[in-house]
Homo-oligomer: A and B are copies of this chain.
Amino acid sequence: MIPKQTVNMTDVARHSGVSIASVSRALRGEPGVSLVTRDRILSAARELSYVVSPEASRLSGGATGRVGVVVPRIDAWFYSTVLAGIADEFDTVGVDLVLCTLPDSAARHRFFEALPLRRKVDAVVVVSLPLTSRERTRIDQLNVPTVFVGGHHPDGNRSWIGIDDELAARQAVGHLLHIGHRDIAMIQAADDTDIPWATDQARISGFHHQMREAGLHDPTVVTVKWSIEGGSRGMEMLLSNSRLPTAVFCHSDEIALGALRTLRRAGVSVPQQISIIGVDDHPSAELTDLTTVAQPVRDQGQIAARKVLRQLTTDGVENDGAMTTLPTRLVIRGSTASPH
C-alpha cells in the first residue's frame, strides 16, 4: 500500500470525528465551532502536521496568500531596495511575493495585455511606473487592491507612497544657491518612453521654480538618458559649451556619478572648479563623496507593503486612498563648495 503523500482536511476531520466543514471553520478561527470541538480539531491538525492546500482554499473562494509586485527592473539600486522593503514586510506575515519585471517595452506591453497576474494574487504593488490610461484601466481590471510607490501620482484617491520630487529638487538647488552659486545648470534625465514621468517633471520644475525665485532665468538644461552613461554624456555636453557653469544639479545620483566620471577624465576638479549635487543618496554617493538629497527608499517599500496588507485584512473594502509623502533630506558631502 502506497502511503498518501499529503494529509488533507478529510484526514483531520476523521481524526477528530467531525466534518470537514467544522475543520475548515476551526482552522481559520471562524465562529460557529464549540470550544471543545475546536480544541480537538486543532490538536488533531497539529498531530498530523496538517497544512491547508492554498490551491484548494483559493479555488473555493479563499485568498491566494500572494501579492504581485511590479517593477520596471530589479537590477538597479532604487528598485531592489524598495523590493527588499516590501519583501521583508511580506515575509513577517507569510505573504508570498510574485515578482513581475518589465525590463523593456515588449515585456511591458505583454504584461498589460496578458495581465499574467490576473487571478493569481490578492493585491498588487506597482513601483515607479508612469501608466498610460489604458494601463491604468488594465491594472484596475485585476480587480484587487493596488498600491503605487513613487514616481507616479495616481489620479483619484488611490493608495500612494513616495517623496515630493519637486521639493527634493528645490532642496538641492537651494543648497547651491545658498553657498553662493548663480550659474547653475541641470542635467535632466528622461525616460525613453513617451509617457511623461512624474518624477522627471517634478524635479525639473523644482529646479526652474527655485532658480526663478532667485531671480535667475533661462538656466542651461541638458537632457539625457537615465543612467550613469547618460550622466557622463550630459557632462560632456556641458563641457563642450564655451562657458562652464559653477555648479550642476543632477537629476539623480546615477546621473551625478556619470558626470563625476567625465569630470575626472577631463581633469576638472570637484568641487574646486565645479560643484555637483544629485538626488537619492545612492550607496555610491557616499563612496564618491557626492552631495545629494537623500530619500528613504526601503521605507517606501515597507510602507507600501503595510498599506497593501492593511487593505487585505480590512477585506479590501477600505480603499483608504491615502497619499503618503516621505521627507527628503540634504546630505552635504565634498562635491559641493562655494564658487572660487
Binary B-proximity of A70-84 (CB < 8 A = 1, otherwise 0)? 000111110111011
Contacting residue for A228 out of B73, B283, B298, CB 8 A: B283
Q: Is the CB of A51 within 8 A of B98?
A: no
Contacts of A113 in B (CB 8 A): 49
Q: Is the CB of B115 within 8 A of A49?
A: yes
Copies in the complex: 2
Which residue of chain B has its CB nearest to the CB of A298?
Answer: B75
Contacts of A257 in B (CB 8 A): 287
Contacts of A110 in B (CB 8 A): 91
A2 within 8 A of B: no
Q: Is the CB of A99 within 8 A of B101?
A: no
If the complex has contacts A83-B75, A99-B87, A287-B284, are A51 and B228 also in contact, measured as CB distance less than 8 A?
Answer: no
A58 within 8 A of B: yes
Bound form: Cα–Cα A53–B6 in Å: 22
If the complex has contacts A74-B83, A257-B287, A298-B75, are A55 and B119 also in contact, measured as CB distance less than 8 A?
Answer: yes
Q: Is the CB of B118 within 8 A of A6?
A: yes
If the complex has contacts A84-B75, A113-B49, A119-B6, are A96 and B98 also in contact, measured as CB distance less than 8 A?
Answer: yes
Interface residues of A in 168-188 (CB under 8 A from B): none
Contacting residue for A87 out of B74, B97, B287, CB 8 A: B74
Q: Is the CB of B64 within 8 A of A74?
A: no
A5 within 8 A of B: yes
A157 within 8 A of B: no
Q: How large is the interface on A (under 10, 10 to 19, 20 to 34, 35 or more residues)?
A: 35 or more
Bound form: Cα–Cα A110–B92 in Å: 10
Contacting residue for A74 out of B51, B84, B100, B288, CB 8 A: B84
A88 within 8 A of B: yes
Q: Is the CB of B75 within 8 A of A81?
A: yes
Bound form: Cα–Cα A24–B75 in Å: 36
Q: Is the CB of A80 within 8 A of B74?
A: yes
A56 within 8 A of B: yes
Binary B-proximity of A107-129 (CB < 8 A = 1, otherwise 0)? 10010011110111000000000
Contacts of A97 in B (CB 8 A): 98-100
A317 within 8 A of B: no
| Besides the known contacts A53-B119, A84-B103, A288-B288, 6 further A-B residue pairs in the complex with CB atoms under 8 A apart | A55-B55, A73-B84, A74-B87, A80-B80, A96-B98, A261-B287
30 pairs, A vs B, C-beta closer than 8 Å:
A6-B118, A49-B113, A51-B119, A53-B59, A54-B55, A54-B119, A55-B56, A55-B59, A55-B119, A59-B59, A73-B84, A74-B80, A74-B84, A75-B81, A75-B84, A87-B99, A87-B101, A87-B103, A91-B100, A91-B107, A91-B110, A96-B120, A97-B98, A98-B99, A99-B99, A228-B287, A260-B287, A261-B286, A264-B289, A284-B287
